[in-house]
A and B are shown apart, each in its own frame.
Chain A
Amino acid sequence: METETTRQPRILVFACRWCGLIGADGAGKNRIALPSNFRIIPVECAAYVEPDAIIRALASGIDGTIVMGCHVGGCRFNDANHAAIKRLELLKELLDATGVGRDRLLISFGTAHEDHQFAEVIRDYFDTVAALPPLEPWVSTLTMKHLSRS
C-alpha cells in the first residue's frame, strides 16, 4: 500500500459550471496533459460549496481542495459568489487556526476559465500540496459513519 509520503496528492475540485468547468472543458478539448489524481465535483454556483464539505474532504484523506468560481462581478446568480469568497477566506483562517493549514484550500475565482489557465492552476496546486507535510489521518470511524448512509 502507498504510504502517505510517497503517493501522489489527492486533490478535490469544486468547480462552478461557468468559469470553472469551462476552463476544465477547454483543457480537455485541447488535450492538455494533466496529472490524474484530481476529481471535479461540478456545482451550479461556487456558493454551493459548504465549508463543511471542504472539511469533510480533508478529513477523509484528500490532501488539497480547490474551489473554482467566477470573477467578482461575473456571477450569474446575482453576485452569489461574493458571499462565497468571503466564506471561503474565513475558512482558510479556520484551517490555519486548527493547524490544518490554509494551503489545503485554493480559492480560484475567475482565474481558471481558459484551458491553459485551468491547467496551470491544477499543476501549480499539485506542486503546492506535494510540498506540504502529510495530513495526519484524524478520521474516526464515527465520522466516517456520518459521511455515508451505510
Chain B
Amino acid sequence: MADITVYLCKCFGEIAATVDLEIVRAGLGDNPSVSSAEIVDSLCLNRDLETMAHQIREGVTQKVLIAACSSLARGDRIVRGLVHRGVRRTDIHLVDIREGCAWIHAGDPDGATGKAERLIDMGLAHLENVQTSDDVSVKINNEVMVIGAGPAGLAAATSLARSGITVHVIERAPHPGGMLRLVSRLYPKDSAASSRLEPYLDELERNPLITVYPRAKLQSIRGYTGNYKIRLSSGDDEHNLSPGAVIIASGAKVLLPDGLFRYGEVANVISQMELETRFRKGAVATKNAVFIQCVGARCQDRPYCSTICCPASIKNAARLKAENPVANVFVIHRDIMMPGSVLEGYYRHVMAQGVRFIRCEKDRPPEIIGTDRIEAVSVYDAVTGSTRTIDADLAVLSTPLIPNDDNRRIAELLGLQLDRYGFFREIYPMHPVETRMDGVFICGSARWPVSSDVAITQGEAAAMKAAALLARSQAAASDFSRVPGRKFGHARVNVETCSGCGNCMAVCPFDAIRLQKVEGKYSHVSRVNKMRCKACGNCVSVCPNGTMQMPEHNYLSVGEMIRRAF
C-alpha cells in the first residue's frame, strides 16, 4: 500500500552538495509503498513544519519518512514539531543522511548517494513493518505510604501532609523517632535529639492527613505505580492501603563491634550507641577517653565509609571534654571524614576545644590493653612515626551503619534492587532518591548511611518526587519512559507461541515480566507489566522462538532492514 511520503532535505545544500537527491527521488518511484517523494530546501524551520503537517493531514499519505540531519542535530526538532501538530509518533521515521552520510563521505558522492538510497530504503522497511505498542492509563491515588518513622520518614510524611497529601507512616517499633530516639545530642549545635524530633511528633498528632501504624509488619504488596495495594498489620490490627507512591525510609542499624578490639572481653570498651545511651541518662565521667574510628568499616568485609562515624565521634568527644575539662580525649582515625563547610568547621572547633586526633594506619590498628577493664590503648601514631601508649578508662568503638535485615524482604515485595551490601539502589547520578520502580522512592540510611540532618533533607527530597508524581490524577505508561520524548514502546508477548521458558523474566532489568497460567495452555505464558517495562529489548533478545517482540522494532522490520541494507 502506497502510504508513505518521503521528504528529502537538501539542508540548504549541506546534504545536496554530496548526495544526489534527484537520483534518490527517481529510485523511490519504483517503490510500491511510497506515495510521493519531495525534495525541499529545509524541513526544520517552523514554516516547513507547518507545510509538512498540513500536507500530511490533507493528503492520502499516512506515514512520513524524513531524510535529513541526525536526530541529535535538528532531526528531533522536526519529529517533535510534527507530533505537536497532530501526527502520530510511530508514523514518522527519521533517516540521517547528513551526519550519517553526506558529511562523512564528502569525497565520495557516488558512495554517499548509494548509501543514502539504502538508508532510506531501510527506513521504508521500518515504516512498512512498524507496529504500535498500546499505551495504558493509570489513576494515581493521592496517598503515599512511608515505610519508617525515623528522621527521613518523618520529614517525608510531614512535607507530604503539608502539601495536602494523605500519608500513611508505618513503623515497626512501638514509637516513631528512629535514630532520633537513640542518640542523645546532634552536631554541630549540640542540640538535644529530642528537640529535633518533637516538632515532627507534634505534626503527627495534629495533622489529620497523617496516620501512623506502629508495630507494623508488611504482609503483601501488589499493584503498580499510582495504585499499590498493600496489606499490613499494626499490632493486632490489619489494614489495607492503596497509596499511589511508596517512600522507603526504613533506616539502617549499627554494627555491633563483636570480635573487634576486645569488645565484650574488656569492660569499658563500648560501642558509640552505648555511649549515646549513657549520655541520654546523664553526664559521662572519664579521665582518659579514646575513640577508635573505622571499626568494621573501610576494611575487607565492608570497604565503604559509613559517613556518620567521624561526626558522631567528634561530637561525643567534644561532649566528654566539655563535661570533663581536664580529661584527655583522643580520636584515633585513618582519615577525618568531615567534608564541606559545616563539618570541617565543626572539626576545627572541636580541635580548638582540646580533643586530640591521632592518625593510625590501616595495617597497624590500635590495641586495647587491660585484663578485666581497659587500662590503655597502644597505637602507632603515623604522623609522629612512633608507637604511643595512651592511658584510657573508656574506649568507644565507632562502627558503621549496616543495612537492616528486612531490606531484602521490602526489596522483594516492591521489586527493588539492593547494592552489594544490602542498601537500596538508586538511579545514578541525577535521581538519587528514585529507584527502578516508578513511584517508589528511597531516602535516609536505608539508601546509604547518613546523619539525621541529611536524612531529613533526603526525606523532603523523596516527598518532592512523590508529590510531583501525585500532582497528576492520572498518568500513562508512556509518561514513565526512561527517555521522555522518544518513541514509547513496550515488549509484547505472542500468547500462542510462548513456551513459558522464563528467559525473559530472568533477564528483565525492571522486573516487568511474570509467568502466568492461561486458560487452555499447558505451559505458563509470559506477561509484561506495561508500567514497568522500559523497552530495553533484553527479553526479545533472549526469547528462543520470537515470541517476545518490540512492536516498534519487530522481527520483520529488522529482517527487512537487513535485507535492504546493501
Contact = CB atoms under 8 A, between A and B. Distances in A.
In the complex they form, do A and B come into direct contact, defined as C-beta atoms under 8 angstroms apart?
yes
Interface of A: 10, 12, 17, 21-22, 24-25, 27-29, 31-37, 39-41, 43-45, 47-53, 56-57, 60-62, 76-80, 83-84, 87, 144, 146-149
A147 B70 contact: no
A50 B540 contact: yes
Residue of A35, A44, A146 with most chain B CB atoms under a 10 A cut-off: A44
B534 interface: yes
Contact of B541 (A22, A27, A84): A84
In this complex, the interface size class of chain B, counting residues with CB under 8 Å from chain A, is 35 or more
B482 A76 contact: yes
A4 B113 CA distance: 22
Given A24-B99, A34-B104, A80-B537, A56 B115 contact: no
A143 B111 CA distance: 29
Interface in B96-152: 96, 98-101, 103-108, 111-112, 114-115, 118-119, 122, 129
Contacts of B537: 43-45, 47-49, 80
Given A24-B100, A25-B70, A80-B536, A47 B566 contact: no
B507 A148 contact: no
A36 B118 CA distance: 11
Contacts, number: 146
Contacts of B417: 78
Contacts of B351: none
B73 A149 contact: no
A53 B558 contact: yes
27 contacts: A25-B72, A25-B73, A25-B99, A28-B70, A28-B103, A39-B118, A39-B566, A40-B96, A41-B122, A43-B537, A47-B538, A48-B536, A48-B540, A48-B550, A48-B553, A52-B546, A56-B559, A76-B483, A77-B536, A78-B436, A79-B509, A80-B536, A80-B537, A83-B542, A87-B541, A148-B556, A148-B563
Interface in B157-191: none
B561 interface: yes
A149 B532 CA distance: 32
Nearest to A8: B111
B560 interface: yes
Contacts of B553: 43-44, 48
B566 A62 contact: yes
B538 A83 contact: yes
Interface in B479-493: 482-483, 486
B482 A77 contact: yes
B510 interface: yes
A42 to B, nearest CB: 8
A44 B72 contact: no
Interface of B: 70, 72-73, 96, 98-101, 103-108, 111-112, 114-115, 118-119, 122, 129, 417, 427, 436, 482-483, 486, 507, 509-510, 534-538, 540-542, 546, 550, 553, 556, 558-563, 565-566
B540 A39 contact: no
A36 B99 contact: no
Contacts of B107: 33
Contacts of A148: 556, 559-560, 563
B562 A147 contact: yes
Contacts of B114: 36
Nearest to A57: B562
A44 B482 CA distance: 10
B485 to A, nearest CB: 12
Contacts of A60: 562-563
B304 to A, nearest CB: 17
Nearest to A48: B537
Given A41-B558, A50-B541, A61 B436 contact: no
A47 B509 CA distance: 11
Given A10-B566, A48-B541, A53-B562, 7 more contacts: A12-B562, A21-B72, A28-B100, A29-B103, A36-B114, A47-B537, A78-B417
Nearest to A54: B562
